Structure 1
Amino acid sequence: MDLKQAYLSFGVVSMANMSESEGSLPLIAVTAAVGAIVLLFTLLCSVFRKDKPKEEIESEQDKKTANAGSEKNNSNKKVKPATKTAKKPAHISFSHTWLSCTLKGHSSRIVSLDFSPNGKYLITASEDRALMLWSVKEFRQKEHKYIRGNVEFDSATHVAFSPDSRALVASLANENAVRIFRLGKKDDGSHNVTISGALDFPSKHKLDIIGVGISSSGKWIMTCSSDTTILIWDLKGEVLATIDTHQVNNSCGKVSPCGRFVASSGFTSDVKVWEVVFDKSGSFSSVKRAFELKGHSAGVYDFDFNNDSRRMASVSKDNTWKVWDTDVRYDMGQDPKLLYSGKVSYPGPALIALSPDGRTVAVGVDTSIAFWDAANEHQDQVLENVHAESMSCLKFDIGGRYLVCSGGKHVQVLHNVTGYKATIADLEEKLRTASGPGMKDRLKQQVSEAKEALENILLSSKDSPK
């Protein structure tokens, strides 16, 4: 365009000179001459452009792009040229006879999940700012519907059901605080459930919240942060007590299913447990140290309770997991007893889940899960490549029938086959030592029902689509 403008300018100047020196030339002739020159130049440029090879044009464009990138990164000579790499799949096709179903719906990584105490629902929280409610009875069906609730202006990092299964406690990523969500029914008279925010607690933690829970009595809520702080709240958002765990930093914080204890693990090699005490009138009294799990030689990644809190399981950086008898008189100075221990199949940060009856231990590392028969102290099965991404959650349902694990955007629902086997073995052992005929008949019936249930699970899992 600069050259064109030069020609135009030249034409205009020439026209002016001609007008001054040769006033006899008609103005229209001069204008036509200038126009002819411009038109000829334009045609020549067009022809030259068409004759130029397409590859040469693209090469020039690539050079310009490369030069621009070079100028932008000239301060860092170690920058490597961009190379095309295959994207990591968002989901892998995992197939196993123990797999009941795969729950799909979230568009981002799932960060937390929990089962309702009534055993009907599973709630999942994701970085996509959504809460999704799933029906447990649909785990063995072809379709898996969900009810979605949005976390306004934030996203949930941890979730826990209230004891009446009508509310949720969730920690928020941006606010680093707690929000209470209510499960209600729509005003149109349908049975559809809605999930809506009801109350926000004040922000009290200095560092990120890494765990939330609510007691089975419904009287208090626990939040645990990544420093050494645990807060005990009432249901209105008032802090009842502050606990300093003295563990350098916290890695896990949970409330026991019995509703009496709050526990934490962290950099130190122990798990510390406190009792939250209320007086006879129902008013908060104090938080006092109950007991500690001592036996690991390195920091504890994760721990879990069984349904009555008489058993606990822990997994550590020392590549071991342990099951403990916590049914002790801790008020009399008794310490928990180590029942058995096992080796972690793979190195790295680990998750652990203890079945409600205490018979099954599941240890998850990266994308693999090892199932252990806790009663007979042997590894039953290792499932590999369960997810395309590292697992974020591992949990048994209230009845101990399923183990659910989240990795990436999906949840895998697995049958607790190890638990069924352990139950059958336990019943058969009791049958051998039973004395009365009535007791033997009942045990025989229970063994028969357990075997039939296990057989049905394995047969249906082979044929059912995921």
Structure 2
Amino acid sequence: MSEEEASLPVIAVTAAVGAVVLLFTLLCSVFRKEKQPSEKEDEQEKKVPTNVSSEKSSSSKKNKPVSRTTKKTPQVAFSHPWLSCTLKGHSSRIVSLDFSPNSKYMISASEDRALMLWSVKEFQQKEHKYIRGNVELDTATHIVFSPDSRALVASLANENAVRIFRLGKKDDGSHSVTISGAVTFPSKHQQDIIGVGISSTGKWIMTCSGDTTILIWDLKGEVLATIETHQVNNSCGKVSPCGRFVASSGFTSDVKAWEVLFDKTGNFQKVKRAFELKGHLAGVYHFDFNNDSRRMASVSKDNTWKVWDTDVQYDMGQDPKLLHSGQVNFPGPTLVALSPDGRTVAVGGDASISFWDAVQGQPDQVLENVHAESMSCLKFDISGRYLVCSGGKHVQVIHNVTGYKATVAELEEKLRVASGPGMKERLKQQLSEAREALNSILSSSPNGSSK
């Protein structure tokens, strides 16, 4: 073998090895190029959460002031020179109010299952304490005081029955009043009870349901009589302050009254038709009596209120006489309250109240936005000094300024025609006191609300 032939394998091997090295170098270079974007992507992915978090934090800081606009605007508290105070304590909507015949207390019933007893003499004070009673396993829908001011008659939402509550005193000698359930009558009504009442004699209790039924009960829970009102449905049912009548209104355009009769020995006799208020053109939402039942007020779907003279001989066929009528400008169902002396008519609708002079039939004042919610109760106290109303969780206590004005006008007229010196002197004194009371209210601001 020649020297030239022997060198060929060495060259071939050297070329092959070089080729392998070159291929390996190329492969490593390609691998590096592919790996670098992947590593960059990993690094970017690692950085993304940090960037997003930072953006969120920055966005959160920028949006903080915006969150204030999502808060509810607080309800502006009602304020008016006629306002005496606002009673607070209930946690849910108030559904019924009543005053004790002895003029000392007011009771309020709410959907929070609580009964709260308030002192009337504290209405002009800054602090308003209350005594709480609970309605066990139910909710009171309507409530009234007994004639002796020592018990309460309430209708119940779930049982649709009547429960008697007793007002007692604690045994610790503190003279604090307690409210406790005593007796529950059997459920007799087919539809919900919409009104309760008790006669001033304490002999009988009335319940009125949403159909056309009124029941008269004795104090032991026995039904004495059933009244069919024939009004398609009942919207309001009440017992007159004199204790003689029970009345109802409903889908028809009249208010019907019946007399509940007992014999001389105190035994129940019968219920007979007494009189009707006729004059509205549509169903009657609500009605009210004055303290001696000689006057009544009613409010109707026909957008009118009316005051009636019910001091008539209905046994002789006489009908109540229409005294005054006025327009109602509130939407939806309305309530009416007649002051005990019959001088003031208050009509409540939605969240506003209009005051009218019931003697002259003239408008006096409209109070708007009295409550944050629609009105549920409207009632004068026994003395006629205050009108109370509820809407939502609060009770507004309002001075009956319209009544004071009517009293002043009436005393001025009596003084003008008075003849005897003694009579004139008494009228002057009464007129001076009425003017002083009126000026005191109009010149003062609201006393505040309970906490």
2:31 alignment partner in structure 1: none
Structure 1 stretches of at least 4 aligned residues deviating more than 6 Å after TM superposition: 55-58
Give the paired residue count.
396
Which residue type is aligned with residue 310 of structure 2? T
Q: How does 1:324-343 map to 2 (within 5 A)?
A: 324-343=308-327
Query: 2: distance between equivalents of 1:438 and 1:332?
Result: 40
Query: 1: distance between equivalents of 2:314 and 2:447?
Result: 48
Q: Does 1:364 align with 2:364?
A: no
1:13 alignment partner in structure 2: none
Q: CA deviation at 1:435?
A: 1.2
Selected match of 2:182 from 185, 198, 203: 198
Larger radius of gyration: 2
Contact map agreement 1:431 1:444 (CA 8 A) in 2: yes
Query: 2: distance between equivalents of 1:105 and 1:339?
Result: 40
Q: CA deviation at 1:202?
A: 0.3
- What are structure 1's unaligned runs of at least 5 residues? 1-42, 59-83
Query: 1: distance between equivalents of 2:73 and 2:139?
Result: 24
Cα shift readout 1:276-306 (whole Å, capped 9, x = no counterpart): 0000100111010000000000000000000
Which residue type is aligned with residue 137 of structure 2? F
Q: CA deviation at 1:57?
A: 9.9
1:155 alignment partner in structure 2: 139
Query: 1: distance between equivalents of 2:198 and 2:300?
Result: 25
Cα shift readout 1:98-128 (whole Å, capped 9, x = no counterpart): 0000000000000000000000000000000
1:300 alignment partner in structure 2: 284
Q: Does 1:120 align with 2:104?
A: yes
2:448 alignment partner in structure 1: 465
Q: How does 1:74-113 map to 2 (within 5 A)?
A: 92-113=76-97
Cα shift readout 1:138-179 (whole Å, capped 9, x = no counterpart): 000010000000000011000000000000000001111110
Q: Does 1:437 align with 2:421?
A: yes
1:53 alignment partner in structure 2: 52
Q: Does 1:272 align with 2:256?
A: yes
Q: Does 1:146 align with 2:130?
A: yes
> How has the CA–CA distance of structure 1 residues 167 and 463 changed in structure 2, closer, same or farther, with 3 Å as cutoff?
closer
2:66 alignment partner in structure 1: none
TM-score (norm 2): 0.85
> How has the CA–CA distance of structure 1 residues 87 and 250 changed in structure 2, closer, same or farther, with 3 Å as cutoff?
farther
1:218 alignment partner in structure 2: 202
Q: CA deviation at 1:249?
A: 0.3
Helix, strand or coil at the partner of 1:450:
helix
Contact map agreement 1:372 1:380 (CA 8 A) in 2: yes
Contact map agreement 1:130 1:149 (CA 8 A) in 2: yes
> How has the CA–CA distance of structure 1 residues 55 and 188 changed in structure 2, closer, same or farther, with 3 Å as cutoff?
same
Contact map agreement 1:92 1:387 (CA 8 A) in 2: no
Query: 2: distance between equivalents of 1:128 and 1:390?
Result: 17
Q: Does 1:423 align with 2:422?
A: no
Helix, strand or coil at the partner of 2:422:
helix
> How has the CA–CA distance of structure 1 residues 344 and 463 changed in structure 2, closer, same or farther, with 3 Å as cutoff?
closer
Q: How does 1:307-456 map to 2 (within 5 A)?
A: 307-456=291-440
Helix, strand or coil at the partner of 1:455:
helix
Query: 2: distance between equivalents of 1:85 and 1:275?
Result: 58
- What are structure 2's unaligned runs of at least 5 residues? 1-41, 58-68
Which residue type is aligned with residue 465 of structure 1? G
Q: CA deviation at 1:53?
A: 2.5
Contact map agreement 2:81 2:446 (CA 8 A) in 1: no
Query: Identity, % of aligned pairs?
Result: 81
Query: 2: distance between equivalents of 1:352 and 1:237?
Result: 30
- C-alpha root-mean-square deviation of aligned residues, in Å? 1.9
Q: CA deviation at 1:348?
A: 2.0
Q: CA deviation at 1:457?
A: 2.0
Moved more, 448-457 or 119-128: 448-457
Q: CA deviation at 1:189?
A: 1.1
Query: 1: distance between equivalents of 2:302 and 2:290?
Result: 23
Which residue type is aligned with residue 295 of structure 1? G
1:131 alignment partner in structure 2: 115
Contact map agreement 2:86 2:448 (CA 8 A) in 1: no
Contact map agreement 2:85 2:446 (CA 8 A) in 1: no
Helix, strand or coil at the partner of 2:376:
strand
Q: Does 1:178 align with 2:177?
A: no
Query: 1: distance between equivalents of 2:447 and 2:204?
Result: 42
Helix, strand or coil at the partner of 2:407:
helix
Contact map agreement 1:213 1:221 (CA 8 A) in 2: yes
Query: 2: distance between equivalents of 1:145 and 1:217?
Result: 31
TM-score (norm 1): 0.82
Higher relative contact order (CA 8 A, sep 6+): 2
